[in-house]
Amino acid sequence: MKIFSSVVVCLMAYLFFTSFTGGNDKYGGVNLYTFREEMKKDAKGVLKQISDAGYKYIEDAGYADGKFNGMTPAEYKAYLAELGLVPASSHQGGISYDNVDQTIADVKAVGFEYLVVPIPPMGHFTYDAQSRTMGMKGGAKNLAEMVNKLAEKCHKAGLKLLYHNHDFEFKTDADGVVPIDYLLQNTDPKYVNFEIDLYWAVKAGADPAQYFKKYPGRFKAWHLKDMDDQGRFAPVGKGKIDFVALAKLKSLAGLQYSFVEQDLTFDGMLPLEAVTISHANIGKLGFKK
């Protein structure tokens, strides 16, 4: 009887705990750019909300002055561990030849596996506010050279480098080159691989499935966000991107991590609401990992 009572008590304690933590049913990742404004005000609070929403890992987007969202690498690592959030990758838009060594050291200190170059680095990214269009200067060859050099540094330090796209990399440039194709063909997969942003690829008129088939194993991370009928960002499963079909190509593509991201929200929806909707849907659409 005593043994039976002990089992019942343990079971009740387990059920009580899992009712708050979600048990082992944590999956998927979030790119913290989604919460860029909120993170400035209460980074720890936002991270707690992400964990409570059932996410398993994060992709950071708030590194500055040697800190991640205002925390030292050691503080950040400890707080993520406290929440049970895995530091999977870190976007480093400000990386350069001058700061690469320190950036790599800080990224490694947190425990990130991937360092992501999210835009053409070192002043080569362009944005026209009037037309709201992104682009780059210097050409695809120059971009490949920069990425290759940074990737070799990462490789020597035990980090993996990914390049993240927007729409312009999938469009023919002034030199008659499609930058993403040039990068795929002129980088060594031992050093450089890719984080495909599915929304921006589709926005550019590209077919991600064809890229997975042509360049198998090169797309280690994916940004999951949908596109509504107006072409705006939408929570996953609330738009027209065929995630079910793409999920069938995960192994072919080389997928290791998928991150929900919502660059902007509309019609009064808050970022937390958007990623909560997305979390429920990625589990149904083939991204429950």
pLDDT of residue 13: 35
CA dihedral 230, 232, 235, 241 (to 10 degrees): 70
pLDDT of residue 242: 98
pLDDT of residue 25: 84
pLDDT of residue 83: 98
pLDDT of residue 256: 98
Contact 257, 220 (CB under 8 A): yes
In this structure, the number of other CB atoms found within 10 A of the CB of residue 69 comes to: 22
Low-confidence ranges of the chain (pLDDT < 70): 1-24
